[in-house]
Copies of this chain bind each other. A is one copy, B any other.
Amino acid sequence: MNIVVIDDDRLVALSLKTILESTGQINVLEVGSSGAEAIELFRRHRPDVILMDIRMEGMSGIDAGRAILKEFPDTKILYLTTFSDDEYILNALSIGAKGYILKQDFEVIAPSLEAVMRGQSVFGDKVIGKLPDLMKPKESFDFAAHGITDKEREIIELVAEGLSNKEIAAKLFLGEGTVRNYISTLLEKLSLRDRTQLAVFYYTEVKA
Q: Which size bracket describes the interface of A in this complex?
A: 20 to 34
Q: Once the chains bind, are B131 and A93 in contact (CB under 8 Å)?
A: yes
What 1/0 mask marks residues of chain A from 85 to 124 whose CB sits below 8 Å from any chain B CB? 0000010011111100000000000000000000011010
Contact among B96, B129, B135, B192 with A94 in the assembled complex (CB-CB below 8 Å):
B135
Which residues of A are interface residues toward B (Cβ below 8 A)? 90, 93-98, 120-121, 123, 128-129, 131-133, 135-137, 159-162, 164, 192-197, 199-201, 203-204
Task: Say yes or no: A120 contacts B131, CB within 8 Å.
Answer: no
A196 to B192 CA separation, bound complex (whole angstroms): 14
A199-B199, A199-B200 given; name 5 further pairs at CB < 8 Å: A96-B133, A162-B193, A162-B197, A195-B196, A196-B196
Point out the residues of chain B lying under 8 angstroms from A90, CB to CB: 135
- Tally of this chain's copies: 2
A-B contact pairs, 13 of them (CB 8 A): A93-B131, A94-B135, A94-B136, A96-B132, A97-B132, A121-B129, A121-B132, A123-B128, A123-B131, A131-B131, A162-B194, A196-B196, A199-B200
Cβ contacts under 8 Å, A132 to chain B: 93, 96-98, 121
Cβ–Cβ contact B121 & A200, under 8 A? no
What residues of B have a CB within 8 angstroms of the CB of A120 in the complex? 129
Chain B residues with Cβ under 8 A from A192's Cβ? 162
Which B residue sits closest to A94, measured CB to CB? B135
Q: Which of B136, B164, B194, B199 contacts A193, CB < 8 Å?
A: B164
